[in-house]
């Protein structure tokens, strides 16, 4: 336990205080969460002020639901002596300092259903195929009043080399979905030395030089920020395409715009950006060979339904005195169980799920 974070040895509340934020995109999941927690007799708060202005609420919260656009600074984690868990409805937990949360004995839950993986993987493959076949440029020709522009020819994906930078759950799902296309798959991932799914692990520089398609599937860390900069883009084959459905700050966007506008790269599909919403002055908006989506390429009806179910499952477990079912920081489990296990207020014998 970090000595800077004094926390009581055993916390047994008479009832939980659960903070649930507002979010337009995740409204359905969050509404269900509020209803479920209230039906179990617990207190729900939905603070509208920044966390720094919560006052003594910070010291009262037992469970905090956090969205990808939310935040809970380290300084507040140190003050939140009752906080047992921070739960994300989504698979990503980027706004949170997970290392500090783990040191503080806080269980981090997230939404990790199969739909989170395969919705994004399907969208990635769709974007890859769209780039190879120059769908956006062909649509532009049509919308401009022309027909069958002979110079706008696509390329088949079959038989090409696809480089996956990052080989976690989504990267592996992309490789799985690409198998029928008969592509050669290269993988660059510091955690992978012997890639499966008929993929070959190589250094990033080799992957960039050899791939017709580069697709990014890395989390954002200090080491991965600006992973693909001007020098890395220069290593790519002339006419190659790049897809980023992972984290915006992985790519130097100005360098990418230069490569696209110079015609050195065949195209790019970008669903995530260093600054969101994408600024009006972004040069990527003026790249004819770019497909840009507003960080929702993988959003599906099935995904939103599954995220709601995952959030309810996580909260249900926490209200019953157990760690969240979809636990992100597994290393906290033993410490958490000793401090919070079964320390659940007995307000209701069942919880409406």
Report, as residue numbers or ranges, the catalytic residues.
Answer: 247, 276, 295
- Walk across the sheet containing 213-216 and list its strands: 199-201, 184-188, 161-165, 213-216, 241-244, 267-270, 290-292
Could you identify the residue written with the tokens 């014998």? 349
* Residue 256 · residue 284 · CB < 8 Å: yes
Enter the tokens of residue 280: 């009006």
DSSP 172-219: HHHHHHHGGGT-EEEEE-TT-SS--TTEEE--HHHHHHH-SEEEE-PP
Quick check: helix, strand or coil at residue 338?
helix
The bridge status of strand 161-165 relative to strand 213-216 is parallel
Q: Buried (b) or exposed (e) across 283-296, using 16+ Cβ within 10 A?
A: ebeebebbbbbebe
* Residue 316 · residue 39 · CB < 8 Å: no
Note every long-range contact of 68-73, with CB atoms under 8 Å and residues 24 or more positions apart, other chains counting: 68/92, 68/94, 68/95, 69/23, 69/95, 70/21, 70/95, 71/95, 71/96, 72/96
* Residue 251 · residue 226 · CB < 8 Å: yes
Quick check: helix, strand or coil at residue 250?
helix
Structure letter (DSSP) for residue 162: E
Quick check: helix, strand or coil at residue 85?
strand
Enter the tokens of residue 106: 């806080």
Helix (H) or strand (E) holding 312: helix 301-319
């Amino acid at each position: 336990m970090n000595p800077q974070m004094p926390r009581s040895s055993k916390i047994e509340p008479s009832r939980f205080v659960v903070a649930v934020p507002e979010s337009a995109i995740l409204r359905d999941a969050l509404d269900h969460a509020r209803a479920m927690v209230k039906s179990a007799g617990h207190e729900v708060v939905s603070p509208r002020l920044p966390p720094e202005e919560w006052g003594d609420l910070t010291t009262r919260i037992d469970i905090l639901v956090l969205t990808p656009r939310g935040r809970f600074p380290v300084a507040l984690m140190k003050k939140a002596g009752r906080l047992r868990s921070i739960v994300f409805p989504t698979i990503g937990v980027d706004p949170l300092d997970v290392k500090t949360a783990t040191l503080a004995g806080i269980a981090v839950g997230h939404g990790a259903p199969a739909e989170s993986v395969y919705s994004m993987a399907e969208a990635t493959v769709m974007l890859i195929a769209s780039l190879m076949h120059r769908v956006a440029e062909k649509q532009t020709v049509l919308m401009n009043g022309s027909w069958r522009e002979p110079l706008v020819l696509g390329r088949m994906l079959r038989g090409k080399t696809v480089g996956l930078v990052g080989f976690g759950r989504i990267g592996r799902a992309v490789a799985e979905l690409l198998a029928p296309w008969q592509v050669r798959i290269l993988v660059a991932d510091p955690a992978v030395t012997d890639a499966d799914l008929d993929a070959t692990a190589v250094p990033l520089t080799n992957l960039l030089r050899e791939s017709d398609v580069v697709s990014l599937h890395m989390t954002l860390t200090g080491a991965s920020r600006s992973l693909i900069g001007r020098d890395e883009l220069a290593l790519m084959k002339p006419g190659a395409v790049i897809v980023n459905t992972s984290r915006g700050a992985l790519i130097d966007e100005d360098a990418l715009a230069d490569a696209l506008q110079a015609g050195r790269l065949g195209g790019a599909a970008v669903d995530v950006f260093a600054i969101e919403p994408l600024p009006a002055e972004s040069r990527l908006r003026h790249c004819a060979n770019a497909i840009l989506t507003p960080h929702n390429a993988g959003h599906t009806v099935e995904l939103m339904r599954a995220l709601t179910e995952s959030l309810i499952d996580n909260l249900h477990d926490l209200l019953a005195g157990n760690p969240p079912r979809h636990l992100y920081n597994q290393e906290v489990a033993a410490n958490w169980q000793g401090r919070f296990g079964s320390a659940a207020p007995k307000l209701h014998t069942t919880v409406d799920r």
